[in-house]
Amino acid sequence: MTGRLLYLEPVGGIAGDMFLAAALDLGVSAKALETGLQSLGLGRWHLVASPAQRHGLSGVHVEVVVEEAAVSGHRPLSDILRRIDASTLPVRARGRARAMFEAIGRVEASIHGVALESVEFHEVGAVDSIVDVCGAALALELLGDPEVWCAPVPLGSGTVETAHGKMPVPAPATLELLEGLAVRFEGTGELTTPTGAAVVKVLCRPGPPPELVVERVGYGVGTKQWPDRPNVLRATLGLPTAGVAGGTYVLETNLDDCSPQLLGTLLEGLLGRGALDAWVLPATMKKGRPGHLLGALVEAEKRESLVDFILRESTTLGVRCSRVERTTLQRHQVTVQTAHGPVRIKLGMRGQETLNVAPEYEDVRAVAEAAGVPVKVVWAEALAAWSRRD
């Protein structure tokens, strides 16, 4: 993963306008948003973005001001999809906007017992809601298409007025849209709306994101004041540490059905492809089966290629990746003269202090083989020659 990450925290819930507002607070141009969305042909409307505060947290509040709507009353799903397809939104944004409205349409069809093509929207079909949903898709493009993650959303409680009369909170469409995702039944009022649920369902991955370096933070401020929490959506944009120079990772996988001959090939392949170190340890697997733990220490830029190598060349179904901190000694090399030939010596330095001294094994072996003497003899001679240095 080398692109940016966007992590959403629905502190006070999430709605389409709150996502738009958070994107504006992250630096998205309101003019660029409005220009792109005007191609939907929704009549005369404009965005009003203004600074706002909730419980001492400052961010951006956004409102869609409708001067003249293209269509009044109910709006069928087919009309919204036609407008999206005919717009000048980027291809990926059109696809995401379509997916969000189709997701809402499917749950509405299920709730009201009608065919998908017969679905008509009331609140979600209003100009401001269409702008919110399509704006979320366009804002993601304007942010550079980051991968989006979202924490569990709070749903609220009570009732809300709709075109069908009073409805429980969370609204039936909201709850069905979030099927399969972690949610929190807490708070008073409608904290998460159907448009917000559609954003989470279609655009986001659930749970905390991978470790990231924070670049910018934006707050999308909702319209209402909640008594127990700030009505804000916090959006954090950052770069995954896998894409940050200097990161080091441990790759590990358990193998209980891998031929021993493959293990040697895996070690050689990992080291040959740039792993800093690689190892195989014996392990006892489930049901008492003997197995092995294959591990490698790799730099961030090598991580994905070495994960791919392990998956392709071993019998495993998955690889664990853990970022680690690594303290290293400065490395230097000198050559000493033994009774049987020259040998390089590796030095581990910390500042001016030498902490580790080791003959280069391949040099020792080559000299020993050429002289017809044991390796241990040349090894000892190399260390002695180092000790006698000036």
The predicted-structure confidence for 145-174, as pLDDT tens digits, reads as follows 999 999 999 999 998 877 667 889 998 889
State the pLDDT confidence band at 72, using cuts at 50, 70 and 90: low
pLDDT: is 161 or 349 the higher one?
349
% of the chain with per-residue pLDDT over 70: 94
Closest C-alpha among 95, 94, 124 to residue 107: 124
State the pLDDT confidence band at 93, using cuts at 50, 70 and 90: very high
Task: Pull the structure tokens for residue 352.
Answer: 């001016």
State the pLDDT confidence band at 76, using cuts at 50, 70 and 90: confident
pLDDT at residue 2, rounded to an integer? 47
pLDDT at residue 152, rounded to an integer? 95
For residue 245, the tally of other CB atoms under 10 A from its CB is 7
pLDDT at residue 119, rounded to an integer? 67
pLDDT at residue 296, rounded to an integer? 96
- Please give the average per-residue pLDDT across 227-248, as a whole number: 82
Which residues 6+ apart lie within 8 Å of 361 measured at CB? none
State the pLDDT confidence band at 352, using cuts at 50, 70 and 90: confident
Give backbone dihedrals phi and psi of 57, rounded to 5 degrees, phi first: -95, 130
pLDDT at residue 1, rounded to an integer? 44
- Please give the average per-residue pLDDT across 84-105, as a whole number: 94
Indicate if the pLDDT at residue 262 is higher than 90. Answer: no
- Read off the pTM: 0.65
Tens of pLDDT, residues 301-331: 888 899 999 999 999 989 998 888 778 888 8
pLDDT at residue 209, rounded to an integer? 84
Task: Pull the structure tokens for residue 37.
Answer: 């969305």
State the pLDDT confidence band at 205, using cuts at 50, 70 and 90: confident
Indicate if the pLDDT at residue 129 is higher than 80. Answer: yes
Return the residue matching tokens 């966007």: 6
CB 40 within 8 A of CB 272: no
Mean pLDDT of the chain: 90
Task: Pull the structure tokens for residue 367.
Answer: 């000299």
Indicate if the pLDDT at residue 243 is higher than 80. Answer: no
pLDDT at residue 3, rounded to an integer? 77
CA dihedral 172, 97, 205, 209 (to 10 degrees): -130
Least confident of 107-116, 140-149, 212-221, 249-258: 107-116
Task: Pull the structure tokens for residue 389.
Answer: 């240095």
pLDDT at residue 125, rounded to an integer? 55
